[in-house]
A and B are shown apart, each in its own frame.
Chain A
Amino acid sequence: MGLRALLMVFIVAGLIVADLRYNSLERTRSILDGLATPIYWLADIPAEITNWSESNVLSRGQLIEENDRLKRENLILSGRSQQIAALRAENTRLRALLNSTALLRNDVMIAELIGVSPDPARSEMVLNKGAGDGVYVGQPLIDAEGLLGQVVEVSQYNSRVLLITDVTHATPVQVNRNGVRAIAEGIGVLGALEIRHVAATTDIEEGDLLVSSGLGGRFPVGYPVARVSKVTRDPGHTFATIEASPVAALDRIRHVLLVFALNNPTP
């Protein structure tokens, strides 16, 4: 038994070092993830049933009501989008005048959430789209409201996503109002981000919308990330303490959009 314990220590130490220090287990992980897929599918069945019954076990009255609401929403949205074509053309013209490159539309793909990290200290999710659908590591993902996070691990049929609120994640942002740049870091709580190292005199106010700045090349420019919820300026400190809450519904989403950004790192 002593021999086995010793063997265990060596194996585990090797694994931890290989993973943390040399990142050399990605391939193994993505193969083994194939084994994990059915487990996630099974674990998702209760949620799937709830979902199904929510959309199928409805009375006629509820359906009519929902239909009416969707029609109204559709009318409002298409009204708003009428001017978009004209605005886009104008934008392209102005950009051409400024000699800068045209902003292209990003393509998106809908994916469904099939699992969340069982460890509440991490903000990770598992999606039902994988390398077979063209998902790649580093791909940004958004929901209807704003930026959610990025893909960190891909296997054939599913992928693992790191949310912007994870303690290991930082998002380059800028204030939508005046373009001030900053870094929004996760603090491990689902509803909060922290903006660090912003000088106390910087022009950031409560209620400011932070959008992705595109610096770092990972996230496309201009997706809403968070709204500043609290700014504390203490004269004794060099930096202001700024808290923000993500605009994406991180804890309620079921469907997300994977963005195929222009700077796709895979060939």
Chain B
Amino acid sequence: MVGQQQHGYWVIWATFFLAFVLAVIPLPPWLAWARPEFLALAVVYWTIALPHRVGILTALLLGVLLDVLEGSVMGQNALSLGVVALLSQVLYQRMRVTNVWQQAAMVFLLVGINQLVCQWTQNLQGVAAPSLLFLLPAFTSALVWPVVLHMLRALRRYYEVS
């Protein structure tokens, strides 16, 4: 790890920026609960692909930015994304060898945990979700995972990010 040349680091941040835009892009009301957590997906991918570049501290920084963007409690998304990054770092060797749908199942769990942590911190503020619909993004995120995986992998190979 030490002395390894870093290359194409900006690509990682470009994908995070895109994820931020997708996180606030207006959706029709019937889709509002189903918005996939694109930022969490990007964090999972880059943590698995380049665990020495993207990890908990990156996730914390991104989380704080997402908190500002969404106007949620400071630290809410920082905590949830931090947990997701931590778990992905623990799991990355296993995630790399499984096929895409097994990965999607893991992503389902990871984003589900992300949603739960967000819900807990929101409860501290007194905003409780009216139903279990807040877990729906875990499902939709798992559904879009294959697409995200192939796009980010293509980007990483094309720009030789390391």
Contact = CB atoms under 8 A, between A and B. Distances in A.
A117 B60 contact: no
Contacts of B29: 120, 251
A25 B82 contact: no
Nearest to A14: B75
A70 to B, nearest CB: 27
B124 interface: yes
B124 A168 contact: no
Interface in A24-73: 25, 28-29, 32-33, 35-36, 39-40, 42-44, 46-47
Interface residues of A, number: 44
B130 A15 contact: no
Interface string B46-89: 00000000011100100011001111111110110010001001
Nearest to A167: B127
Contacts of A124: 71
Interface stretch (B1-9, B16-24, B106-114, B150-158): B16-24
Contact of B65 (A25, A35, A167): A35
Contact of B70 (A14, A42, A117, A167): A117
Given A12-B78, A42-B21, A29 B86 contact: no
A11 interface: yes
A13 B25 CA distance: 29
A62 B138 CA distance: 45
Interface stretch (A1-9, A138-146, A176-184, A213-221): A1-9
Contacts of B86: 1, 4-5, 8
A122 interface: yes
A20 interface: yes
A12 B70 contact: no
A236 interface: no
A119 B26 contact: no
B99 interface: no
Interface of A: 1, 4-5, 7-8, 11-16, 18-20, 25, 28-29, 32-33, 35-36, 39-40, 42-44, 46-47, 115-122, 124, 153, 160, 167-168, 188-189, 251
18 contacts: A1-B86, A4-B57, A8-B60, A8-B86, A16-B79, A16-B124, A19-B73, A19-B74, A40-B24, A46-B25, A117-B70, A117-B71, A118-B24, A118-B35, A120-B29, A121-B129, A167-B127, A188-B127
